[in-house]
Amino acid sequence: MTTAEPDAPHSAPTLSAVAKLAGVSSITVSRVVRLPGLVAPETRGRVEAAMRELGYVPNQLAGALASARTRSVGVLVPTIANSIFADTVQGLSDELEPLGYAVILAQSRYDAMREDRMLAALLSRRPEAIIMVGSPATDDGARLLRRAGIPIVETWELPASPIDAVAGFDNYAAGETVARHLVAQGRRHLAFIGGDDPRATRRWNGFRDAALAAGANEPRRLVLERNASGSVAALAELPGVDAVFAANDAHAIGFLSGLRAAGLQRSGPASAQPVAVIGLGDLEMGRLIAPSLSTIRVHGDAIGRTAAKLMLTRDGPRHVDLGFELVLRDSG
């Protein structure tokens, strides 16, 4: 576990600050927010540029008392279609709901522009904290969070300089661990399948670097479409591969189904498999299928609970590495 003590979050920018930067009145800024059609396009563009530069988010709760607490926490995840993040949301909720907090959930769907829109939408509800899987994908998103004036917790990552606090694991090291295991088992023709989001890319980088350092051939990388699973189609693009690391268990399980359809899976231990497969996430389905799925176990519940504690207090470390485990089963 390492620690890094960042500055406290900045105070949120005000409407008057936007007006001053744009060279207009506060009433004009208010019109841009509430009735943009009544404002000349050139003026509206100037105000919107100032809002982006300052990280200003309109207050959707402006009618409430300024001192009122919303008792809400905004949570941004890539998707709810994949249950890999469910444990984190559950752990977070288990810590916060008994304290009277409501969790507001939004999805980025691995889309950087949508992520920015969802962050702005969450912040407009004036939550008391934002907790997100990963780190902001754009400078605009990072600016919004830095200037929100509330606790921000990044998860499933370990950025060296988090916006406020972070609870996660080392994605690069996870890739390294898988590659070293596969090469030690005599596998030389390795591949990585998954998305191209930042966390998957860090897993790929660690996987590739460790495989080459251990004497394997240059690994291949197959980038799947969003929410796709590794399948027969992926298998057709990876001839000659004898081991696969999937960015998550959903991809790994899909790829295993392709191997079964092609007659390339056998009962018995990993050494009997023509193609070894390792995933990440330790989903329950991976334990139940045959052959059972080897995986990187991530402590999702602990990530969520730790994120809640980091949100609630500034005491103690703000950079928490919860680690991971390589769990070996029949598939690899």
Q: What is the pLDDT of residue 95?
A: 95
Q: How far apart are CA 249 and CA 294, in angstroms?
A: 9
Closest CA to 120 of 12, 45, 198, 7: 12
Kindly state whether residues 47 and 81 are assigned to the same domain.
Answer: yes
Has residue 26 been placed in a domain? yes
In degrees rounded to 5, what are phi and psi of residue 287? -80, -20
| Enclosing domain of residue 63 | 15-169+301-327
List Cα–Cα distances, 12 to 79, 124, 127, 189, 285, in angstroms: 28, 11, 12, 52, 44
Structural domain count of the chain:
2
Structure tokens, 84 = 């890999």
* DSSP state, residue 55: T
Instruction: Concatenate the DSSP letters of all residues of 204-230 into one string.
Output: HHHHHHHHHHTTPPPPEEEEPPTT---
Same domain, 240 and 322: no
Model pTM? 0.79
Rounded average pLDDT over 179-199 = 95
Average pLDDT in the 168-177 region?
98
Question: Is 9 contained in some domain?
Answer: no
Angle at 285 between CA 282 and CA 289, to 5 degrees: 110
Q: Are residues 27 and 134 in the same domain?
A: yes
Average pLDDT of 281-304?
94
Q: Does 270 lie in the same domain as 212?
A: yes
196 and 274 inside one domain: yes
Mean pLDDT score, 294-322: 95
95, 174, 94, 168: which is closest to 135 by C-alpha?
168
113 and 165 inside one domain: yes
pLDDT digits (tens, 9 = 90+) for 64-80: 444 457 889 999 999 98
Nearest residue to 244 via CA among 168, 169, 182: 182
* pLDDT confidence bin for 54, thresholds 50/70/90: confident
Q: Are 127 and 73 in contact (CB under 8 A)?
A: yes
pLDDT digits (tens, 9 = 90+) for 124-169: 888 999 999 999 999 999 999 998 999 999 999 999 899 999 999 9
In terms of domains, do 51 and 91 share one?
yes
Residue 217 belongs to domain with CATH number:
3.40.50.2300
For residue 258, the model assigns a pLDDT of 85
Pairing of strands 130-133, 102-107: unpaired
Domain shared by 87 and 196, yes or no: no
Q: Do 148 and 192 reside in the same domain of the chain? A: no
Rounded to an integer, the average pLDDT of 184-205 is: 95
Verify that 31 and 157 share a domain, yes or no: yes
pLDDT of residue 4: 38
- 284 in the same domain as 135: no
